[in-house]
Amino acid sequence: MSLPADLPHLDVITDADVLASLSQDDAEWAPVGRPLAAVRPRSTEEVQQIVAECAKQRIPVVARGAGTGLSGGANAVDGCVVLDTSRMDRILEIDPDNMIAVVQPGVINDNLKTAVAEHGFWYPPDPASAPWSTIGGNVATNAGGLCCLKYGVTRDYVLGLQAVVGGPAGPYGTEVRVGHRTTKGVAGYDLVGLFVGSEGTLGIVTEITLRLRPARAASPRTVVGAFGSIVAAGEAVAATTRRGLLPTALELLDRACLQAVEDWKHLGVSATAEALLLAQIDTPGAAGDEEATALTTIFREAGAEWAEQSTDDIEAEALFAARRLAYPALERLGPVLTEDVCVPRSAVPTMLASIEQIAARHGVAIPTIAHAGDGNLHPLIRTPADDEHARASAQSAFEEMLRAAIALGGTVTGEHGVGLLKRRGLRQEQSAGVLSMQQAVKQALDPLGIFNPGKVLGDPELGA
């Protein structure tokens, strides 16, 4: 492989150890190929020239952000170039008058939040990986997070994109802008919505225009409920929806997750209940007080051993920190295969019961965390290291949970993306006609098939 000679400062990586570190995300057991090289561009122009040269030589291009993904979407394929966007990390503009920010894809989510807060604004999408994950990666998977119950997911905040593409737009390496900077805009098809969640399979996003919200006026109220079973906690989630309450966040974590975090970080969080529900309410004034009281009552009526509104901000922050740290706390103890199913909120108790039954059938430990308020569950399948039988059992449990979610009217992925791990599940969830439509979009926009090949739709002939 050769790259353009007029890019003397292009950071090309061929060292085997560094390449290995850039070749996969955090997905356990997802296949990983061997790349030819990795490249760290700093500008759209460099991305254009890289893509043009790779197209000329029919070399696949796999975009990568921080590598925090959990589906294998950023994993290298054999003979590819890994396009690492981490050096494209500039916040290009914060426009207070129009409440927008323009960023490069390598900007860290939390860094953007901090920057816009200085101007009195807030960027709501907040995946648990926000301290490390990039906006480009968030766009690739349409990331959600703790606040998405009330404030929406990444797609709800992306107004416009700049991307390097090929196919009908022009030769590979062509730069296009889709979307707008205005609050409204319905000219033509929604190509921004098409790119968000496409996992780098349609082109390389090099700039993102984001909608901002005014900063929240006060710290949110926190309501905590402790339950004797994880299914009882799920019943409280369903009851909250039935009553028409919409907290900012409604998160679930079970005893095993709490204990793993406490053993690691010593936050002072007691792990005595089988499951906790953590709710935040940011409605101001007396209405917020009434909402917090109503939610506490719902938790108690649903069978909580206790439910209270926290009056200690430090304690409340520790509880939400435990929720964010649950996955890495378990991961440090051994391999963790992470699920990401989403079911209708009324079906949360049934899905939680199914997870317990699946764990028992396959003889695997499955601690669970969840964005419970929107039905997005993250069972964490734990296995001992270097135990092939346990690995096979974990993978069987993983696939069975996908089928259970589909049977309940749910989806195989709420926010982590399809990547490599959910390709079979996607084919179970969607009809042949819908899959064919998506294949046609991929073929039309990437006729050479060089953008992140094999991800999401996979190879239809192989059924992968």
pLDDT(458) > 80: no
**Sequence-separated (6 or more) residues with CB below 8 Å from residue 260:** 326, 329, 330, 333, 367
Write the secondary structure of 17-74 as one string of H (helix), E (strand) and C (coil): HHHHHCCCCCCCCCCCCCCCEEEECCCHHHHHHHHHHHHHCCCCEEEECCCCCCCCCC
Phi and psi torsions of 204, nearest 5°: -110, 115
- pLDDT at position 22 is 97
* CA of residue 374 relative to chain centroid, distance: 14
Fold of 11-86: 3.30.43
Q: How confident is the model at residue 311 (pLDDT cuts 50, 70, 90)?
A: confident
**Predicted confidence (pLDDT) per residue in 56-80, tens digit:** 999 999 999 999 999 999 999 999 9
User: What average pLDDT score do residues 337-366 get?
Assistant: 97
Confidence tier at 109 by pLDDT (50, 70, 90): very high
Rounded mean pLDDT, 133-162 = 96
pLDDT value at residue 315: 82
CA torsion sign for 415, 420, 422, 423 is positive
What is the pLDDT at residue 3?
59
Q: What integer pLDDT is reported at residue 165 of this predicted model?
A: 98
Percent of the chain with pLDDT over 90: 89
Question: Is residue 75 within 8 Å of 30, Cβ to Cβ?
Answer: yes
Say how far apart CA 68 and CA 135 lie, in whole Å: 12
Q: Identify the residue whose tokens are 């900007």.
A: 107
CB 100 within 8 A of CB 211: yes
Fold of 334-445: Alpha-Beta Plaits (3.30.70)
Query: What's the rounded Cα separation, in Å, for the pair 285 and 370?
Result: 28
Average model confidence (pLDDT) across the chain: 94
Question: Which of 82, 80, 77 shows the shortest CA–CA distance to 32?
Answer: 77
Q: Pairing between strand 61-64 and 81-84?
A: parallel
Q: What is the mean pLDDT of residues 310-322?
A: 85
What's the pLDDT score for residue 459? 59
pLDDT of residue 461: 40
Across 292-301, 311-320, 399-408, 452-461, least confident range: 452-461
270 has pLDDT over 80: no
Long-range CB contact pairs, 242-245, < 8 A, 24+: 242/346, 243/294, 243/298, 245/291, 245/294, 245/295, 245/298
Cβ neighbours around 150 below 10 Å, total: 18
pLDDT tens digit string along 408-423? Answer: 999 999 999 999 999 9
pTM: 0.94
The two domains 11-86 and 218-327 share their CATH topology (first three levels equal): no
Mean pLDDT of 43-68: 96
User: Topology of 88-214 in CATH?
Assistant: 3.30.465
At 462 the pLDDT is: 38
Average pLDDT estimate for 174-183: 97
Distances (CA, A) of 75 to 26, 30, 65, 97: 9, 8, 11, 40
What pLDDT, on the 0 to 100 scale, is given for residue 8? 60
Domain boundaries, the chain: 11-86, 88-214, 218-327, 334-445
**Residue 224 corresponds to which tokens in the numbers above?**
């905590």
Three-state DSSP state, 448? coil
- Distance between CA atoms of 361 and 368, rounded to whole angstroms? 17
Please state at what angle helix 285-301 crosses helix 230-242, rounded to 10 degrees.
130
Q: Name the strand (E) or helix (H) holding 214.
A: strand 213-214
- Give residue 313's pLDDT: 82
pLDDT of residue 380: 97
pLDDT of residue 460: 44
The yes or no reply on domain 218-327 and CATH 3.30.70.2190 is: yes
What pLDDT is recorded for position 1?
56
Q: Are 455 and 73 in contact (CB under 8 A)?
A: yes
| Per-residue pLDDT, 172 | 98
277/369 Cα distance (integer angstroms):
10
Question: What is the structure's pLDDT at 271?
Answer: 77
The DSSP letter of residue 199 is T
